[in-house]
Amino acid sequence: GDSVFDNVPRPPDIPLYAMIAAYNEDPSPIKLNLGIGVYRTEDGKPVLLNVVRRVEQLLANDISSNKEYLPITGMPEFNKLTAKLILGVDSPAINENRVATVQCLSGSGSVRIGAEFLAKHYHQRMVYISQPTYGNHPNFLIAAGLEMKTYRYYHPTKHELDFQGMLEDIGSATSGAIVLLQTSGHNPTGVDPTLQQWEQIRQLIRTKGLLPFFDCAYQGFVSGNLDMDAESVRIFVADGGECLAAQSYSKNMGLYGERIGALNIVCKTADVASRVESQLKLIIRPMYSNPPMHGASIVAAILKDREMFNEWIIELKEMSNRITCMRCQLFDALCDRGTPGDWSHITRQVGMFTFSGLNEAQVSFMAKEYHIYMPPDGRINMAGLSENSVPHLADAIHTAVTRV
């Protein structure tokens, strides 16, 4: 060859992408993609919230608007509103100006900027992540030059939180280590600590002087209640200690492609927070200069207007209710079929995903014989199901666990 890039090696396939490619190539009319983490309506269509459509029309008609650059840290109004959404309207940390908030490229960009900041300005490089966790988490941390260890999180046979294991592993963490936590709707397991368990986790983390880093990708999507889904972060902020919290509006506002989210760094004092914010600017500017405007305009418009906000809540609850409904329907369908095993975790788990417990062989059997696609770890996107497709999935699971 004569390309100057002839020596560029082909990287190994990303497992999730291989699954998506197989799905796309499958000509079957009954094929079902339960792999990717996006919400679908009962008709299997992508969702655009009515409130988002309405805001976009208002924005398009607003002759006073323009497309000039945002500041490096994003839209100031969005930043104020987004911090209040996660930390609460009366958060003392916000009132005392102890929170540095920067608009970032959704949850991914927020975790990545947080990781970059920690790599540059925190004394400890070790991050503890749950076993398992969102597949991109290790990538963000490694790319920032941080190091990783895992803490036990999921009990694979009981299909629930391995709380003792979690406490033991976090309890034996290196002093000052960072602990990455998912606020609610844990991806991929659908298993969250209870509020009492969060309180124990908090005491342990504070006693040991560890630094909590929350990833909040599903606020409101889990319980239908924005405050409840953020309670874990709030108890950590209420004790006056420091933490990081990344936010995403991909799922809860259906703004996936707008890449809108934020990183909040809660500090001890306003002076520290302002220095932290200045350093965040130095990280962001050489990377992409400043963030995009459109998603921030949408979120700010919804968060600041009571009537829009209420419309959003109704649509958010609809999405989270539909997922809960799918859980019940799938569980009932497996009971009806007398499928061997205990499937109660389908209704006990929360958020978008069911960690089914299906093994890799069963997952590939279901793809081949039933045209149902999911990642090898058996994670099912409940939002990809509908009343029509539940029986098909139940048949597939039943055959897979009896035959494979």
Which of residues 187 and 320 has its CB atom nearest to ligand PLP in the complex? Answer: 187
Beta bridge partners of residue 128, listed in sequence order: 149, 179
- Nearest approach in angstroms of CB 55 to ligand PLP is 19
CA dihedral 284, 288, 289, 295 (to 10 degrees): -90
| 90 burial level (CB within 10 Å; 0-12, 13-18, 19+) | exposed
- Nearest approach in angstroms of CB 353 to ligand PLP is 8
- Measured over the CA atoms of residue 140, residue 143, residue 146 and residue 149, the dihedral's sign is positive
Which of residues 73 and 130 has its CB atom nearest to ligand PLP in the complex? Answer: 130
- Report helix, strand and coil shares of the chain as percent, to nearest 5: 50, 15, 40
Which of residues 106 and 264 has its CB atom nearest to ligand PLP in the complex? Answer: 106
Q: Report in angstroms the alpha-carbon separations of 127 from 124, 178, 280, 365, 386.
A: 8, 5, 19, 36, 38
Residue with smallest beta-carbon separation from ligand PLP: 107
Which of residues 186 and 327 has its CB atom nearest to ligand PLP in the complex? Answer: 186
DSSP 382: G
DSSP 224: S
Which of residues 135 and 241 has its CB atom nearest to ligand PLP in the complex? Answer: 135
Which of residues 209 and 257 has its CB atom nearest to ligand PLP in the complex? Answer: 257
Residues that bind ligand PLP in the complex, under the rule CB under 6 A: 37, 106-108, 134, 182, 187, 215, 217, 248, 250, 256, 261
- Nearest approach in angstroms of CB 186 to ligand PLP is 8
- Nearest approach in angstroms of CB 232 to ligand PLP is 13
Phi, psi of 140 (to 5 degrees): -60, -45
- Nearest approach in angstroms of CB 155 to ligand PLP is 20
- Nearest approach in angstroms of CB 119 to ligand PLP is 19
Instruction: Of 240, 126, 190, give the one whose Cα is nearest residue 382.
Output: 190
- Nearest approach in angstroms of CB 237 to ligand PLP is 19
* Residue written as token pair 């958010």: 316
Which of residues 260 and 394 has its CB atom nearest to ligand PLP in the complex? Answer: 260
Beta bridge partners of residue 181, listed in sequence order: 214
Going by C-beta distance under 8 Å and a sequence separation of 6 or more, which residues neighbour residue 266? 87, 93, 98, 99, 237, 242, 243, 244, 245, 273
Which of residues 102 and 401 has its CB atom nearest to ligand PLP in the complex? Answer: 102
- Nearest approach in angstroms of CB 123 to ligand PLP is 25
Residue 3 Rama label (left phi>0; alpha psi -120 to 50; beta): beta
- Nearest approach in angstroms of CB 188 to ligand PLP is 8
What is the full DSSP assignment across 155-221?
A: ETTTTEE-HHHHHHHHHTSPTT-EEEEESSS-TTT-----HHHHHHHHHHHHHTT-EEEEEES-TTT
Which of residues 137 and 371 has its CB atom nearest to ligand PLP in the complex? Answer: 137
